[in-house]
Structure 1
Amino acid sequence: MKRITKNVFGISAGVLMVLFAGLGIATWINKEESRKALDEVEVTDSAEVSEIVYKYGIPVDNYNVRYGIVQANQNLSVLLQKHGLSVGEVHELNKLSEGIFDVRKIRSGQAYAVFETKDSLPRTSFFVYEENPKSYVVFDVRNRKYEVRRGENPVEWKRKQVKGKVESSLWVAMQEHDTSPQLAMILSNIFGWTIDFFGLQKQDEFRVIYEQEYVEGKELPNFRVLAASFNHEDSLYYAIPFVQDGEELYYNEKGNSLEGAFLKAPLDFYRISSRFSNSRFHPVLKRYRAHHGVDYAAPTGTPVYAIGNGKVIAKGFQAGGGGNYVKIRHNSVYETTYMHLSRFAKGLKVGNEVKQKEVIGYVGATGLATGPHLDFRVYEHGKPINPLHIKSQPKKPISPMNMPQFTVVRDSLVNELSRL
């Protein structure tokens, strides 16, 4: 029995040693596999991979990239053949572009990029055309597997603020505060029914909280005004955005819409060269006569807007007077006339219904004029009135139901503006 027990113990010990050895080997193998697995995770999550730079969705490091600008008289065919593609390949890409991008719209001055292989005999793999800073078109010609697709660069909206005073014009004031003058145009549109931006005075103060769009760190002339105030002629005007009935409008502190039935002016931000008068010295005729309108001096080609919704009731040319002119009936009370236009808006006809801020023509010097300007006239019940005194009824105010919510938004934004 002792021998048997000993043998059994000996066998058991041997088995245990084998088992322990096996466990040790297995543990070592598991550790190795775990280490390898960790190594793989580390490689996958390494800085090398994260440093891969993509442009237009293409890994830049895999190619030699050439950037260029479309020159005058260059089209897609010229550009692609310049970079090694055959006439047949260009034709194939033209067909693939249908419904995605109209290749006839490639314009001079726009940027493009060519991605070439890093071989001893490099071949074009991608041609990218930038429609604008945000959108682009990729022509993929790798391995003769053609594809045309659109893409968009990621955009970012940055919150900003500016406060300042007008010395000569709001446009100049924005420039002096390192802010895009385009923001002045946005403000003139927002306050266009309540403030005459042609009549701004020195020391008028503005405060604006806004967002500006960026692409790859570059500023774009796109803005969202989050709140604004304007101190003009001893009155403080506010612009508070609020959504009511699915439409976002700007309201004053009382909850009345800033948008009225008529714009204050029919064009953006240029100076008044002559005002409404019953006796004005005419620069061409060299005599005094009535001038029942307002002249806005502006460069030839400046867009001219309808100041309100209405119907075109006249369109024509007066050789010894208003030159190219358009007349609009807005309602049973008001009509407006726009004179000395260089040309009319495309497709504009008598009988057309036009919307407020719709372009109806462009500033010129046709007819009896010494230089480019718009002669703008307003008639109330058929009689000429001073366009700067036209009555403008506001759109629907904040409803009683929405007033509590509007009050919270207004108070928060007014406080933020006051702290600028």
Structure 2
Amino acid sequence: MNRKRIISIAIVALILSAGIFNPGCRRGGNVQEEETAEVKDSVPAMGFWPDSLLCEVGRIRQGETFSGLMVRLGMSAADVYALVDSLDTAFDVRKLRADKDIAAYYSTDTLEGGEVKKELRYVEYRKDIASSIIFKTVAPLGFWEYEKPVSNERKFSHVVISSSLWNDMQKAGSDPRLIATLSDIYAWTVDFFGLQEGDEFKVMYQQKVCEGAVVSVDTVFYAEFRSEGKVIPAVRFEVPGCGKYWKPDGESMKGAFLKAPLQFSRISSGFSYHRKHPVTGKVKAHTAVDYAAPTGTPVMSIGDGTVISAGWSGAGGNMVKIRHNGGIYMTAYLHLSRFANGIKAGTRVSQGQVIGYVGATGVATGPHLDFRVWKNGTPVNPLKMDNVPDPPLPEAMMPQLDSVYRHYSAIMDSLTVTNQQVL
């Protein structure tokens, strides 16, 4: 075999092994699919490669519009208009919030003389720790949502009241946002404005974590409130149409009336028949509880009912009166800065519905809510009034509730380290 023939055979063999010429190894479509799959797998989580761009981080300014923000970052007014038009109703640019973090990503090019030219490519609007919206600022314009990986953690917290629930929750190493969930669960049984030194909360809950930071407190599985030797457990056991939290004996944690008409405040004056008025100086009955709170704090109806009146009441300022339980109970909310939309005589309201906002109208030394309750026409102390619970858990479900309660309480008894993670 001569040298030329040997070389030709070698070349053909090389071509066949590469699958270029072999009709039986046509892989054009498959190769394309494999390459596409590889490209898809290599697409970055954010939808672009941030490490290849110059990133500048800042914040949205007070009063800044979406258009103003984008122009400030480097878009032309025409491109901004086109981008807003492409968003349609998918993203409401009016919901852009001041002081939220933004990140602008630029491509760069060094010109003659060393000058660096920047072109805005993407803008990241950081809604929270885990969620962002990415705006593509060059053709083709567009946007998409970006979610960072979030993990769930079950935690245990033991808080003993020494100063305030907020401060003591932080000292215990727990996220204070847990307070909002606890106040919802115990809204009908615990007066969060009357917590005393030595009162305790033990809680088993779940929180979402992103990059080591708590995103939210999601679910309380089991809780115990202890005060003066009395223990009130709350067990999460969802029953469609009935409720989520129950006492171990099947009594609902939900009652006909909330313990308070607003959240996160303090009692500035209690129920009394002999109180010296802070403005007039006269000693007279104060058959109400005053809650000091910033102007604009939402005020809620403590129960389902019908608005009797909503208007000016002289010294009481703006006032809403509500009739409950067929007229057995009546509540009043005084010194409001304004009424909630739709609140007027005859309006039906539901428990927890916002009916107005804290103010200092009428005769008042500062912003607060004057809250009053009558039962059959007689004033009663809102902090001591009896509550009527919702219907109990159906008897057929009691064994399941008991099993859940025993499981959680056994875990709770075994945990003694504050904020220990539950495995």
Q: Which residue identity does 1:331 align to in structure 2?
A: N
* Residue aligning to 1:138: 134
- Partner-residue secondary structure (3-state), 2:395: coil
Gapped runs of 5+ residues in structure 1? 1-17, 31-39
How far apart are the structure 1 equivalents of 2:359 and 2:351?
A: 21
Query: Does structure 1 conserve the Cα–Cα contact (< 8 Å) formed by 2:237 and 2:246?
Result: yes
TM superposition shift of 1:409: 0.7
State the Cα distance separating 1:99 from its structure 2 match: 1.0
Q: Distance in 1 between matches of 2:188 and 2:63?
A: 44
Between structure 1 and structure 2, the one with the greater Rg is 1
Change (3 A) 1:165 1:84: closer
2:75 matched to which residue of 1?
A: 85
Supply the AA of the counterpart residue of 1:182.
Answer: R
Q: Hey, what does 1:336 align to over in structure 2?
A: 331
Letter in 2 for 1:296: Y
Asked whether 1:395 is paired with 2:385, we answer no
Q: Is the 8 A contact 1:316 1:324 kept in 2?
A: yes
Alpha-carbon distance between aligned partners in 1 of 2:174 and 2:156, rounded to the nearest angstrom: 9
Measure, in 2, the Cα distance between the counterparts of 1:365 and 1:250: 37
Q: Report how far residue 231 of structure 1 moved.
A: 0.9
Q: Is the 8 A contact 1:188 1:269 kept in 2?
A: no
- Displacement, 1:238? 0.4
Deviation at 1:349, TM superposition (A): 2.5
Q: Which has the higher contact order (CA 8 A, sep 6+)?
A: 2
**Which of 99, 114, 117 is matched with 1:109 structurally?**
99
- One-letter code aligned to 1:71: R
Find the aligned partners of 1:194 and 1:103 in 2 and give their Cα distance: 42
SS of the residue aligned with 1:336? strand
Q: Which amino acid aligns with 2:317?
A: G
Deviation at 1:331, TM superposition (A): 2.1
Q: How does 1:8-407 map to 2 (within 5 A)?
A: 54=44, 56-120=46-110, 121-142=117-138, 144-245=139-240, 248-319=243-314, 321-332=315-326, 333-407=328-402
Q: Deviation per CA, 1:361-401, whole angstroms, max 9, x where unpaired? A: 22222211122221111111222222123232212222122
CA positional deviation for 1:336? 0.4
Q: Confirm or deny: 8 A CA contact 2:301 2:354 kept in the other structure.
A: yes
Change (3 A) 1:273 1:74: closer
Supply the distance in 1 between the matched residues of 2:233 and 2:191 (Cα, whole angstroms): 15
- State the distance in 1 between where 2:128 and 2:162 align: 35
Residues matched between the structures, number: 379
Cα offset, 1:123, TM superposition: 2.1
Query: Structure 1 residue 164: deviation in Å?
Result: 2.8
Identical counterparts, % of pairs: 41
Letter aligned with residue 162 of structure 1: S
Q: 1 CA distance for matches of 2:63 and 2:158?
A: 45
Structure 2 residue identity aligned to 1:225 = V
Q: Secondary structure at the match of 2:409?
A: helix
Q: In the alignment, is residue 419 of structure 1 matched against residue 397 of structure 2?
A: no
Aligned-pair CA distance for 1:248: 4.7
Distance 1:271 1:85, change over 3 A: closer
Contact persistence 2:130–2:215 (CA under 8 A) = no
CA RMSD in angstroms, aligned pairs only: 2.7
CA contact (8 A) 1:201 1:233 kept: no
**Cα deviation, residue 247, structure 1:** 5.7
Deviations 1:397-420 (A, max 9, x none): 221221111111110011112222
1:192-249 CA deviation, whole Å, 9 max, x = no partner?
A: 2112222222212221111122233322343321111011132111010001126651
TM-score, structure 1 length as denominator?
A: 0.83
Deviation, 1:330, is: 1.6
Q: Which amino acid letter does the alignment assign opposite residue 200 of structure 1?
A: L
